[in-house]
Amino acid sequence: MKSKVFVALDQTEWKDIERLTAALKGSGCGMKVGMELFYAHGPKAVNFIHSHGFSVFLDLKLHDIPTTVGKAMSNLLQLPAVMYNVHVAGGTHMMQMAGKALIDSGRKDVRLIAVTQLTSTTEDIMQN
């Protein structure tokens, strides 16, 4: 993974994605594709950003039953992203299934990380 900084692409309008990739081309940053963008444009967004020379962090925070996450991860690993994530709340077995999918893919250029808390989590939410 060559990028150390990933710019969040939280826009869903295609013209905004085109404008941002053009403006940041050659900057050395990567691009983070989150749920909003991925659900609006799917693999097209990841492929487009990658084709413009950016490393892609696919930030979907996978969280479901272990088998489903494993299969989803296998499918997502067909995309040219270099980082993916799961949510820790899904449990150890779920995270292991995501890791197994990564190992089975044979890809060595990918990092799989786990999210423990969302930035929107307040102290009140944590206590209740």
Catalytic residues: 61
3-state secondary structure of 61: strand
User: Of how many residues is the chain composed?
Assistant: 128
Three-state DSSP class for 123? Answer: helix
- Residue 56 makes CB contacts below 8 A (sequence gap 6+) with 30, 31, 32, 33, 46, 49, 50, 79, 80, 81, 82, 83
Q: What angle do CA 61, 118, 41 make, to 5 degrees?
A: 40
